[in-house]
Structure 1
Amino acid sequence: MDHLSSFPITQRWPAKHPDRLQLYSLPTPNGVKVSIMLEEIGLPYEPHLVDIGKNESWTPEFLSLNPNGKIPAIIDPDGPGGKPLGLFESGAILLYLAEKTGKLLPSDPVGRYETLQWVFWQMAAVGPMFGQVGFFHKFAGREYEDKRPLERYRAESERLLRLLETRLQDRQWIMGDDYTIADISVLGWVRNLVGFYGAGELVHYEQLKAVPDWLERALARPGVQRGLTIPARG
């Protein structure tokens, strides 16, 4: 096993347990995907808080691991072939961890690809749309006189929620009886939309039934509860 010192990011965030997977993150909707996943699968890891409010994700050390400057990112000291692997993009990390451990991703090809399509749906649609609603409803976008951008993203977010509502009809989880990385990928964003962003009324969340029930089931999971607070904020 090669030493983690070959990764410049460890100079700023030293590893106390270099034999464990290293997580560089913050409890945001994207960040908690990986901490929840790690808690659910029980893989030993060491979390490091990357404070995006202080632009720490744009430091040379972090950019050496993720040139896109976004959390989360990981280093697995026991990657393929026993060599360290650095990885960024939350969806890619979820897939990697699922395949590494054989957990939370169906083994049959049909189920596997169906699960992955929902993960990619979150990455391509839910995250960007809900994030724009947050900007235009809660943050600086509120100052814009032109409300057409907010309405555009509000309407699309509502459509996405109703799509998820249809998918979850008579289902416990996105893939039916099995909780998977698809649920982990989506749950933090729905929670943020109606909680932190305070946009539930805006997207008519109260008119939904299956989505709130699904979110309640997900948030009751011990692994989810732990993962939502990791890394601990200072």
Structure 2
Amino acid sequence: MSTPTYRLFHSPGACSLAPHIVLEELGVPYEPVRVVIAEGANSKPEYLAVNPRGRVPALWIRDEAGERVLTEAMAILVYLARRHPQPALLPADPEGFVRALEWMGWLGSTMHQAGVRTVFRPERFTTDASGAPAIAAKGRESIRAGYADIEQRLRGRDSALDGGFSAVDAYLLVFYRWGNRCGLSMRTDFPEYARLMDAVRARPAVKRVVEREGIQID
């Protein structure tokens, strides 16, 4: 089986940061393509031709089976880790694997769609503009509880999963950054989370991606 060629469509600091890190960690050929959400690039016809939902990430794949596009961060992370089992970025054993899915499913749903998005884009959750500040306030309260959960689960650990750095740690870096952007004092209030993310940020592949995307974590 030949090595696939990839093109990752990403927006700086979005959840696409996680598959961007995983591709860099794997060392496989890929082309990063910036689709800056803040500039509306995800709504332009050329990107909608890639992903009609207008969201990032999207992973274009070319291999012996042809060309196709895979969307959704969790799906992309699992695909990459399964297609390229070395270095092992997700556990091979069934329980370890589903524990990784448990982490990523909760991050992508409760913490992202029902949490951080209500803080960043509260107007999308109401038809009454005057209610947006209350939605954002409630969202901030909810994600604080979520970050407290993460803090407890990471206490005394060197990685989210047994066995060292994984795709879950890359995904957790996204949410650590977003916590800072939501106005939370992540380093002060969640020191165990910050400690682990400092170790993630020290990895050469992560440094390269953060520099390429031009983002700040803290």
TM-score by length of 2: 0.83
Deviations 1:94-144 (A, max 9, x none): 1110111013011101100111110111110222312332346xxxxxx96
What residue identity is the alignment partner of 1:86? V
Residue 66 of structure 1 is matched in structure 2 by 51
Among 172, 175, 182, the alignment partner of 2:161 is 175
- Bigger radius of gyration: 1
Residue 221 of structure 1 is matched in structure 2 by 203
Residue 7 of structure 2 is matched in structure 1 by 22
Report 1:109-148 matches (<5 A).
109-128=94-113, 129-135=115-121, 147-148=133-134
Q: Cα RMSD between the aligned structures? A: 2.4
Question: What is the deviation of 1:207?
Answer: 2.8
Seen in structure 2, the aligned counterparts of structure 1 residues 147 and 73 have a Cα distance that, compared at 3 Å, is closer
1-structure distance, mates of 2:203, 2:14? 17
Q: How many residue pairs end up in the alignment?
A: 204
Report 1:82-93 matches (<5 A).
82-93=65-76
Q: Is the 8 A contact 1:173 1:179 kept in 2?
A: yes
2-structure distance, mates of 1:56, 1:68? 13
What residue identity is the alignment partner of 1:72? P
Question: What is the deviation of 1:88?
Answer: 1.2
Q: Which segments of structure 1 move beyond 3 Å, counting only runs of 4 or more?
A: 143-147, 229-233
Structure 1 portions without partners, runs of 5+: 1-18, 137-142
1-structure distance, mates of 2:145, 2:38? 31
1-structure distance, mates of 2:132, 2:14? 27
Structure 2 portions without partners, runs of 5+: 123-128
TM-score by length of 1: 0.78
Which protein, 1 or 2, shows the higher relative CO under an 8 Å CA cutoff with sep ≥ 6? 1
Seen in structure 2, the aligned counterparts of structure 1 residues 209 and 90 have a Cα distance that, compared at 3 Å, is same
Deviations 1:163-188 (A, max 9, x none): 10111122111113421111111211
Identity over aligned residues, as a percent?
26
